[in-house]
Amino acid sequence: MIEENLLMKNSSIPFNSANIKQLFSKNFFLVIFISIPSAIIADYFNIPLAWMLGPMIATSIAALSGLKIVMPRLALSSILIILGLHIGNYIDQNLLSQMKDWIWTSIIMFFYILFSIIIVSKYLQKFSSYKQKTSIFSGAPGGLGPLLILAEYEKSDLSQVATAHLIRLIIIITLFPFLVVNFSSVDVMEIEKFNYIDQNHFNLLILLFVSIILILIFDKIKVPAPLLAGTLVASGILQINDIASYKLPEISINICLLVLGASVGCRFANKTVNEVIKNTAHSFVATGLLVFLGIIAAVIAGYFVDNNFLTLLLSYCPGGIYEVAVIAIAFDLDPNFVSFHHIIRLLIILFMVPVILKFIDKSNSKN
């Protein structure tokens, strides 16, 4: 059984009585009660991205133990808008002029996704006994929400698809921070001295209003990751034209980390320990293959753009777009570059997977 919030097709900002009630439910209060202490404990032991990894591990254990926990979609949507506003602070005229140089890295992304789907799906079919279409949905490097909707339509095994992606997500966002801390000179972003109180707070209202309008429009026309895309476009238009800009307090990054980490753990609420264990070994191998292909893509991309290797690797990382974006912010790894390429990745996946499925159907009909 797949969790409801992955398959619901209503607005990205589900402002209705059911979702508002979830904000005040004991199931959500339990998530907060588990997440805050786990984040503090992880921070005490100097675990990288403690405010994400602590809650993620704690809520995953709680969910698999049978506790009824839930992450309200309205809470998650609000946090993702805050994340978008943080990334929006990086947008300026120089960024727009750089985008023309990202055409080649976007083309590299296309081939990375194509080879990823082919290689990982073949592995899952041969060694995990996944059916052909299920293996394709499971092998795609990201886009869990849209892929689940396609998988449901194609009568594929939704549990296998969801579990494969969730285990991969946990592996990526757990290991990448340790990779940065241990093998790079990049440091976690330090809190800058900035007088947040003296800002024009009306600008924040303008940014939120325009962001919400664009999010609703993007959601209506099926733009991938509308919460992030809408907020980034709104921030870009308003800041480049000197209409409105606003810098959020850095503590809000920790709040984003906590909610995103807890939301990953909550996705295991309808899964069993046996189900997760059964998929874990093959998910490790599949993730390893995707990371290896991502490293190759990052190395090639390094010949076309002047970015450090970790930024390129994160851009081709097979993780969730929002989780990856918040990692880019936390380690100051060019969040706009990373977010742009993950939005491109979603667009390519949404285009490529249906084409591959049609090709499979035609081949099967001939046989």
Distance between CA atoms of residues 54 and 68, nearest Å: 19
Average pLDDT, the chain: 85
Distance between CA atoms of residues 257 and 201, nearest Å: 24
Q: Would 4 be classed as within a structural domain?
A: no
Residue 153 clears pLDDT 80, i.e. is over it: no
Distance between CA atoms of residues 274 and 28, nearest Å: 25
pLDDT of residue 192: 54
Assigned token pair, 249: 């307090």
pLDDT of residue 269: 82
Q: Would 141 be classed as within a structural domain?
A: yes
The lowest-confidence range among 1-5, 24-28, 178-182 is: 1-5
pLDDT of residue 194: 62
Q: Would 1 be classed as within a structural domain?
A: no
Closest CA to 143 of 113, 188, 112: 113
Roughly what angle, to the nearest 10 degrees, separates helices 226-240 and 201-220? 130
Q: Would 5 be classed as within a structural domain?
A: no
pLDDT of residue 8: 41
Distance between CA atoms of residues 243 and 228, nearest Å: 20
Q: Would 340 be classed as within a structural domain?
A: yes
Residue type, 290: L
pLDDT of residue 122: 94
Rg (CA), the chain: 20
The predicted-structure confidence for 3-16, as pLDDT tens digits, reads as follows 444 334 446 888 78
Q: Would 210 be classed as within a structural domain?
A: yes
Q: Would 15 be classed as within a structural domain?
A: yes
Average pLDDT for residues 211-230, to the nearest whole number?
87
Closest CA to 169 of 53, 5, 74: 53
Torsion of CA 8, 10, 12, 15, to 10 degrees: -110
At 153, which CATH number?
A: 1.20.1530
- Scan for tokens 């990054």, then name that residue: 253
Q: Is 289 helix (H, G, I), strand (E, B) or coil?
A: helix
Residue 1 clears pLDDT 60, i.e. is over it: no
The predicted-structure confidence for 285-310, as pLDDT tens digits, reads as follows 999 999 999 999 999 999 999 888 99
Q: Would 3 be classed as within a structural domain?
A: no
- Domain holding 305, by residue range, is 10-366
Asked whether 214 and 81 are in contact (CB, 8 A), the reply is: no
Counting the structural domains of the chain, the total is: 1
pLDDT of residue 186: 53
Average pLDDT for residues 213-229, to the nearest whole number?
86
Assigned token pair, 44: 């005490």
Phi/psi at 274 (5° precision): -60, -40
pLDDT of residue 185: 60
